[in-house]
Structure 1
C-alpha cells in the first residue's frame, strides 16, 4: 500500500520573495562573545524588498567601553550611561526577530554575541536560521568588481543609500541594500528559494544550473532516482530520504566528484521511484545498479563478481575458488577479491591438512604424493595413506571452522605468529595475522548471512521520528514488502496487508538463495538498528555462540580489508539477538 505523506516546506522550497528577513548589526566592547558585551543593536525587518520595521538601541554594558572601541564606533561611556541594560534589550530583540531569517555581514560574529547575551538573560540559545552576506558575496563578487568583501566595499558596489559608519542601524541598513543586490544576482543565476541559496555554488556551470527543472515533480519522500541520457540509458542511480531535494543539489551545489559533473552534462531526464522508507530505497538502489550497471556508479555494479571458497563435494574434498555458489556445498565468504579468498584459504589450510592439489581423486586410483605430504601438511590420500573415512575427519574440521567455531584456525595462526615474532620476523608474522583476520571475517560474514537467509519469513518494524512505523517483510534474506504506518494508526492491519502483498520467492541453493549478498547485509544492519522490533518470525534467527562473530569483534580494530562490511561484524547484533 502506498504511504501518503505531506511534503515539508524544506522539500518544497521557500521562495526568497515570500520570506521575512531581519538584518542585524551589533557594536560591541571587543571581539570575543565570551568576554565582551553588546553596546548597540540595529536591526531592519524586510520582506519582498520592502522595509517593514526598524529597531535601534544602545545597550549599557556592565564594564566601561575601551578607548580604542570608542574611537572606532563613536560610542562612549557617557552615551550608554542611561541606556537600557542587556536584560531589557534582549527580550525586545528576540520578539522583533521572531519568525524571521536572520541576516548579518560576517554572521558568526553577530550571532555569537546574540546567543551569549540570550543565555546570560536566562533564555535557551536561539537556533536561528540565518544568512551571511559576507559568505554569499564571496561566491558572487569577483576581485575585478570589488577589492574585498568588506561591508563598505559591497555598499559602494551595490550603490547603497546608506554608508556604513560602524553604527549599528546604519550598518544594518547598508547590509539590507547589499542583501538585495546579492539576491538580484542570485535570481539571474536561477536561485529562487532559500534552500537553493544554501546549496548555491558559483562553481556550478550555467549549463548545469539550467537543468534544475529535471528535479521538478520528483517525490519529496524517500526513494531512488535514475539519471538517464537522451537514449534512456541509465547513467547513475542514487537514493535519498528526500529525492527532490537531493536531485536538486546536482544542479545548484558544487559537486566535488568530477564524474558527477560529466554525468549531469549528459543527463536529459531523471526518473524516480518513491519508497515506503529508507531501507526499501537502499534495496531498490542495489537492484537497479546491478540490473543497469550505470557507468557513473562505482559500487555495487557487479555483485556477480564476488568470490567464494567452496568445500567441494567429492570423495576427497578440497578448497576451490569459485564465482557462483549454486549448490548445497559448504562455502566460505563471500570475498570482494581473489586475494582475500587466497589469504583465508592459506589460514584454513595451515590448521587443517586438506589436500591442495586440483585434480579429482578416486579411492581406487593411486598416484605419487607431493611435497606437502612430507611436510606434514597433507594426509596424502592420493597415494593411499589416508582413506575416505580418515580424510573425512579433516573435512569435518574445516566445515566446523567455516560454519561454527574458528578457534582451531585462530590457534594455529597464533602459534605461527608467536614463533615468527619471537624470531623477530615481524613482516612474516603480519602476513599470517592478516590471513587469519581474513578467514575470521569471512566466516563471520557467512554465518550472519546464513542466519538470515534460512528464515522463511520475518516481519520487523522500526519506529520513525514521527512516532509511526516502518515495516519490512523479509523472506530468505530478500526484502519482499515494505510499508510505512502513520502515527496514531494501529499497525497490525498494515502488517497483515504487507505480508499478503509480499513477493513470493523460491529459494535456490547456496549462501544467497534469493537476493544479493549486499542486499541481505543491508537488511541485517537495518534489523540490528536501534528500536527495531521483530513482529513475526518463522523459525529462528540465531548464530553460534562460539561462532566467528565473537572473534571478528576482537580484530575489528585491525586494518580493514576490501572484504570487510561497512560496520564491524555483528557489533550491534551481538548484544541484541539470541545466539545458539
Structure 2
C-alpha cells in the first residue's frame, strides 16, 4: 500500500402568581444563547498506533478533518515514525509497515503541525479517551503539554442517541453503515476520521431534533452521560430568559399551581439541568411533564435564597418537594414583638406580630441557631413577658 503523503496544508477557515417574581434586568448575550453548533469548528481526529497502551506504544499515523457548519475546511494526513518496529498484527490490521514509516517525520514534528492545524477548535474522536490518551502521552514525551481543547467523543454521543433497537454496538464501522457514511472505515487514520465526520454530523442532526442546538447543550448532554430523553429535552424552552443569578425557582403547571420549588446560585443553569439526561429522579420526570412555566425569584445572597425556598415550600406544599410532605418536622425561630424581645423555637407560625425565621430542617439545627444568635446579640433568655416600663420594686432581669 502506498505511503500517505506528508502533512498536507490546512485550508484557511471560512471566514406564580404568589409569590410575585423579582427579576433582574437580563440582557440576552452570546453567553446566554450559547454558541450555535453550526458555528463551532470541529477537528475530527483518528490515530493508528503500534498497540493499545499510550504508555508503552506509539503513534504510526494521524488523520484529521476540520469542519464547520457541515463544510470541510481542511484535512491533515501523515504517517509518523513510531521509533520502533510495527508489530505484525498491527500491519495486518492497518496495512502500515516498517518500510512505510521508516522515512516518516518524528512525532514531535507531527504534533507541532497537528496542533497548529487544530488551533482552538473542538477536538472530536471516536472513543476519544484512546486518541487523546496517545496525544497526551506523546506530547508529554516531547515536552508539549496538552493545550486544553474541548473534546467530544462520538461513542458517548452515539450511546445517548441510538438505542439497542437501532444498533448492536457503537463501533465506528457499525455506526458508519447505520448512519449512511460516505466513507467506509479502513483502519487508516484519514479514512476513519472522514467516517467519524459523517457519524458526528448524523448524531448532531438527531440531537438537534430534540433541542440540542448549541455547544452548551452538547456539553450538558456529554456531562450527563446517559441516554437522551427526547420528551424532557423538548421542555427546555422553559429555561429561556431565566437569570443567571442566585435565587429561587418555581415550576408551575398550566393552572398556576406550584409543582416544585428549588434554589440555586445560578437559576438558569440549574433549571436547564432538569431537561438533560443527568436528571434521573423519576418524580422530576413527572414534574417536568406537567410544568408549563418557571418563575424565578432573584435573591441578593444564597442564604436569603435558601430561607425563601423553605418558606415557599411551607406555604405552597408543592407535590414534588419531599420536604413538603412532612411539614410538621420543621422548626421556626421566633423573635417576640416586645420592647425586650426573646428568641425561641416553635413548630408553627402564628399571626402574633412576632418575626419568624425558618423553617429549619431539624430541632437540633434550630437550637444551634438560637445559641449562635444569643452569642452574637444581647437577647434576653428569660421567658417572662416584660412591661415597657418596669414596675416599682421589680427585680432586674439578667440577659
Q: TM-score, with normalisation over the residues of structure 2? A: 0.75
Cα pair 1:219 1:243 within 8 Å, conserved: yes
- Whether contact under 8 Å (2:24, 2:298) holds in the other structure is no
What's the CA shift for 1:166?
Answer: 0.5
Deviation at 1:128, TM superposition (A): 2.6
SS at match of 2:256: coil
Aligned counterparts, 1:445-464, within 5 A? 446-447=367-368, 449-452=370-373, 455-456=376-377
Please tell me whether the aligned partners of residues 26 and 243 of structure 2 are also in contact (alpha carbons under 8 angstroms).
no
**Residues 314-367 of structure 1, C-alpha deviation per residue, up to 9 Å, x if partnerless?**
xxxxxxx984699xxxxxxx9947xxxxxxxxxxxxxxxxxxxxxxxxxxxxxx
- Do the aligned partners of residues 17 and 231 (structure 1) sit closer, same or farther apart at CA in structure 2, a change above 3 Å counting? same
* Cα displacement string for residues 410-435 of structure 1 (whole angstroms, at most 9, x for unaligned residues): xxxxxxxxxxxxxxxxxxxxxxxxxx
Report what 1:486 is aligned to.
Answer: none
| 2:163 paired with 1:139 | no
1:58 deviates by 0.9
Corresponding residue for residue 40 of structure 2: 19
1:256: how far off?
A: 1.6
Matching residue of 1:560: none
CA distance in 1, matches of 2:25, 2:113: 42
Aligned with residue 69 of structure 1, among 90, 114, 132: 90
Displacement after TM superposition at 1:112 (Å): 0.8
5 Å matches for 1:223-372? 223-299=247-323, 305-306=329-330, 323=347, 336=362
Instruction: Give the drift of 1:113.
Output: 0.8
Does the 8 A contact of 1:286 with 1:300 survive in 2?
Answer: no
Report if the CA contact (8 A) 1:7-1:221 is conserved.
no
Is the partner of 2:111 in helix, strand or coil? helix
Partners of 1:31 and 1:19 in 2: CA distance: 31
Q: Does 1:161 align with 2:182?
A: yes
- What is the Cα deviation at residue 50 of structure 1? 0.3
Q: Which string of whole-angstrom CA distances, capped at 9 and with x for unpartnered residues, describes residues 189-214 of structure 1?
A: 222112222334545242x3332211
For CA contacts below 8 A with separation 6 or more, give which structure has more relative contact order: 2
1:180 aligns with 2:201: yes
Deviation at 1:451, TM superposition (A): 2.3
Counterpart CA distance in 1 for 2:135 and 2:30 is 27
**How far does residue 97 in structure 1 lie from its aligned partner after superposition?**
1.5
Deviation of 1:454 after TM superposition, in Å, equals 5.2
Q: How far apart, in 2, do the equivalents of 1:199 and 1:120 lie?
A: 33
- Aligned pair partner of 1:41 in 44, 62, 65: 62
**C-alpha contact 1:116 1:125 (8 A) present in aligned 2:** no
> CA offset at residue 95 of structure 1?
1.8
Q: Distance in 2 between matches of 1:87 and 1:30?
A: 19
Give the SS at the match of 2:73: strand
Q: Does 1:193 align with 2:214?
A: yes
Report what 1:417 is aligned to. none
Shift of 1:231: 2.0
Higher helix share goes to which structure?
1
CA contact (8 A) 2:228 2:276 kept: no
Q: 2:329 touches 2:361 (CA, 8 Å); kept in 1?
A: no
Aligned CA distance change for structure 1 residues 114 and 11 (closer, same or farther; 3 Å):
farther
Separation (CA, whole Å) in 2 of partners of 1:160 and 1:325: 66
Task: Find the aligned partners of 2:361 and 2:219 in 1 and give their Cα distance.
Answer: 42
**Partner in structure 1 of residue 229 of structure 2:** 204
Counterpart CA distance in 2 for 1:271 and 1:307 is: 27
Asked if the contact 2:249–2:261 (Cα under 8 Å) also holds between the matched residues in 1, the reply is yes
| Residue of structure 2 in register with 1:125 after alignment | 146
Q: Is the 8 A contact 2:229 2:276 kept in 1?
A: yes
Specify the SS of the correspondent of 2:255. Answer: coil
Structure 2, gaps ≥5 residues long: 1-22, 333-344, 351-359, 384-399
Aligned partner of 2:7 in structure 1 is: none
Instruction: Assess, with a 3 A threshold, how the Cα gap between structure 1 residues 226 and 132 changes in structure 2: closer, same or farther.
Output: same
Q: In the alignment, which residue of structure 2 is the partner of 1:92?
A: 113
Q: CA deviation at 1:257?
A: 1.0
Deviation, structure 1 residue 9: 5.7
Question: Could you tell me whether the CA contact under 8 Å between 1:7 and 1:220 is conserved in 2?
Answer: no
The corresponding residue for 2:81 is 60
Alpha-carbon distance, 1:43 to partner = 0.5
Higher Cα radius of gyration: 1
Deviation at 1:300, TM superposition (A): 7.0
CA distance in 1, matches of 2:134, 2:252: 49
Match of 2:99 in 1: 78
Per the alignment, in what secondary structure is the counterpart of residue 272 of structure 2?
helix
TM-score by length of 1: 0.53
CA distance in 2, matches of 1:7, 1:204: 27
Q: Conserved in 2, the CA contact under 8 Å of 1:11 and 1:245?
A: no
8 Å CA contact 2:26–2:241 kept in 1: the answer is no
- Cα pair 1:154 1:178 within 8 Å, conserved: yes
**Conserved 8 A contact 1:224-1:240:** yes
